[in-house]
């Protein structure tokens, strides 16, 4: 079905045929806009931003680009095309018919899953709301606003499901999605990482690389769901999500590139010298990476989880790329976990595969994270330096799961609590590191100019040159 842009709410779900639903969503729309105005990007609401908007849901050419004022962005409801003869792909009901309505017994659980996913979308917009001011270029400013409006659309995606399939409970949940706020003492966002403030662009790039990638894997798991509208919604969200990770990946790569240029110019690898020259040294980049990677790992939940087992059994949430697994029932398989033995060592334990689904997803995520690392390290290697960046162990600095609160070094070797505290400043950004990063955060507004701590991108957006006027500031 083609997208309908005539309606107040653009959609490809034939919203006009369901007046009650349409009216309920039209009632929610101004509340969303109020939220955007109050907690979306500060200022820049009258700037014309070169944004892409979805105009079809097929994989080729779904986006159109043009100048849009953010509050006028056409947030809408887009589901991927239905897949003919799609069957339940995993769990106890493997091979049976998919659901177009929610079986009563799964209502509460599915609502929780949808709300938890939905809550992260506006949360990230709130976390990033001040960053437009310190954008290192107009290109980057445009990118963050693109990410922000699409996270807003992802909220719409989840709110549509809540309104369409969960009656009054769903409508109440949709209201609450606008009432919880990132970092709010009384009504925080549901997941910890989404309450961490993002005050600088290095953190923003780490967030879009590591935390949006968690989003990718959650969406991949939900795209397998037996509840077909959820699966189709998540499938389309994934196409938008890819750009968010591109922003993170290339952002970190450009920071590394700039650091290497400065090292070359100065003829030294000394981090202090690199900083004095206004670039970010590799050890500091590594510390920010350690922080955001470990924080994002917690989003996958406990390594052994009866909830995850029951989501899988009942067909609500699968494994990412479920088709790639041989056994879609996973009843008689086991998974080996490495756990702290309580005496400063490590022990192995076999658990039923279904209980290890979070860990299976987390492992796929870690492998995906490695890809960027390889690319950044190749850059460093090609520049002729021996330093390398790496992902810390999945045991390091965890707050959820078997390794929660267990002190280890970044290789995952258990160490004493004293050593852990003493060495934390080697591994995570210190107050001084953060102060240094903030000191670099000065907005650059001239066309084609970049802040001194980041290299220009290899190419612009949608075949436009890097120096294109991606944001018309009207100031």
**Binding stretches for Fe ion (CB under 5 A):** 121, 151, 154, 212, 241, 244
Instruction: Check if the beta carbon of residue 292 is closer than 8 Å to that of residue 196.
Output: no
Tokens linked to 81 = 């095309």
Q: Which position has the token pair 């600095």?
A: 397
Question: CB 215 → Fe ion: shortest distance, Å?
Answer: 5
Q: List CB contacts of 282: < 8 A, sequence separation 6 or more.
A: 256, 259, 271, 380, 387, 389
Other CB atoms within 10 Å distance of the CB of residue 388? 12
Instruction: Check if the beta carbon of residue 361 is closer than 8 Å to that of residue 217.
Output: yes
The alpha carbon of residue 100 and the mean position of all alpha carbons in its chain are separated, in whole angstroms, by 27
Residues pairing with 68 in the sheet:
49
Question: CB 420 → Fe ion: shortest distance, Å?
Answer: 32
Which residue lies nearer to Fe ion by CB, 173 or 359?
173
406 CB burial (10 A radius; 0-12, 13-18, 19+): buried
Rounded Cα gap, residues 416 and 418, in angstroms: 5
Can you give the C-alpha Rg of the chain in angstroms? 23
356-378: burial string, b at 16+ Cβ within 10 Å, e else: bbbbbbbebbbeebeebbeebbe
> Whose CA is closest to 40, among 165, 144, 139, 170?
144
Which residue lies nearer to Fe ion by CB, 222 or 440?
222
Indicate the helix (H) or strand (E) that contains 50: strand 48-54
Which residue lies nearer to Fe ion by CB, 119 or 151?
151
Question: CB 73 → Fe ion: shortest distance, Å?
Answer: 15
271 CB burial (10 A radius; 0-12, 13-18, 19+): middle
Other CB atoms within 10 Å distance of the CB of residue 95? 10
Question: CB 413 → Fe ion: shortest distance, Å?
Answer: 34
Instruction: Check if the beta carbon of residue 129 is closer than 8 Å to that of residue 354.
Output: no
Which residue lies nearer to Fe ion by CB, 238 or 383?
238
Which residue lies nearer to Fe ion by CB, 10 or 315?
10
Question: CB 419 → Fe ion: shortest distance, Å?
Answer: 37
Question: CB 336 → Fe ion: shortest distance, Å?
Answer: 32
Q: Enumerate the H helices of 277-430 as residue ranges.
A: 282-297, 306-313, 357-382, 417-427
Question: CB 123 → Fe ion: shortest distance, Å?
Answer: 10
Q: List CB contacts of 201: < 8 A, sequence separation 6 or more.
A: 131, 134, 135, 136, 140, 251, 441, 454
Question: CB 190 → Fe ion: shortest distance, Å?
Answer: 14
Question: CB 56 → Fe ion: shortest distance, Å?
Answer: 20
Question: CB 152 → Fe ion: shortest distance, Å?
Answer: 9
Which residue lies nearer to Fe ion by CB, 150 or 359?
150
Rounded Cα gap, residues 93 and 88, in angstroms: 7
């Amino acid at each position: 079905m083609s997208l309908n842009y005539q309606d107040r709410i653009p959609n490809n779900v034939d919203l006009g045929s369901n007046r009650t639903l349409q009216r309920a969503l039209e009632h929610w729309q101004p509340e969303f806009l109020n939220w955007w105005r109050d907690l979306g990007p500060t200022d820049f609401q009258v700037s014309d931003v070169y944004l892409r908007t979805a105009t079809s849901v097929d994989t080729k050419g779904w986006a159109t680009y043009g100048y849009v004022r953010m509050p006028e962005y056409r947030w809408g409801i887009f589901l991927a095309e239905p897949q003919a003869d799609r069957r339940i792909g995993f769990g106890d009901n493997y091979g049976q018919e998919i659901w177009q309505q929610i079986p009563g017994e799964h209502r509460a659980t599915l609502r929780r899953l949808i709300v938890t996913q939905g809550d992260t979308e506006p949360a990230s917009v709130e976390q990033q709301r001040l960053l437009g001011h310190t954008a290192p270029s107009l290109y980057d400013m445009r990118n963050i606003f693109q990410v922000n409006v699409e996270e807003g659309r992802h909220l719409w995606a989840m709110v549509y499901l809540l309104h369409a399939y969960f009656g009054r409970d769903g409508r109440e949940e949709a209201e609450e999605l606008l009432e919880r706020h990132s970092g709010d003492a009384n009504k925080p966002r549901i997941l910890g990482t989404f309450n961490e403030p993002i005050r600088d662009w290095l953190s923003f790039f780490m967030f879009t690389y590591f935390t949006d990638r968690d989003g990718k894997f959650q969406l991949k798991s939900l795209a397998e769901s037996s509840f077909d509208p959820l699966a189709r919604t998540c499938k389309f969200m994934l196409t938008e999500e890819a750009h968010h990770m591109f922003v993170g990946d290339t952002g970190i790569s450009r920071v590394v590139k700039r650091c290497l240029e400065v090292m070359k110019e100065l003829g030294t690898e000394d981090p202090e010298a690199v900083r004095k020259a206004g670039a970010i040294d590799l050890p500091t980049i590594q510390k920010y990476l350690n922080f955001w990677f470990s924080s994002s790992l917690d989003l996958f939940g406990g390594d052994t989880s009866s909830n995850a087992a029951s989501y899988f059994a009942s067909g609500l949430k699968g494994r990412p790329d479920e088709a790639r697994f041989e056994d879609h029932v996973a009843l008689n398989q086991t998974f080996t976990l490495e756990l702290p033995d309580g005496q400063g060592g490590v022990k192995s334990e076999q658990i039923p595969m279904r209980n290890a689904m979070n860990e299976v997803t987390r492992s796929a995520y870690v492998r995906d994270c490695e890809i960027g690392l390889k690319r950044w390290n190749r850059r460093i290697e090609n520049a002729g330096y021996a330093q390398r960046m790496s992902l810390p162990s999945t045991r390091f600095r965890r707050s959820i799961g078997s390794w929660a609160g267990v002190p280890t070094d970044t290789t995952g070797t258990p160490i004493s609590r004293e050593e852990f505290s003493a060495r934390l400043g080697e591994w995570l950004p210190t107050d001084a590191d953060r102060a240094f990063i903030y000191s670099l955060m000065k907005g650059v507004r001239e066309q084609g100019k970049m802040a001194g701590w980041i290299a220009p991108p290899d190419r612009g957006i949608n075949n436009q040159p890097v120096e294109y006027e991606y944001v018309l500031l009207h100031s």
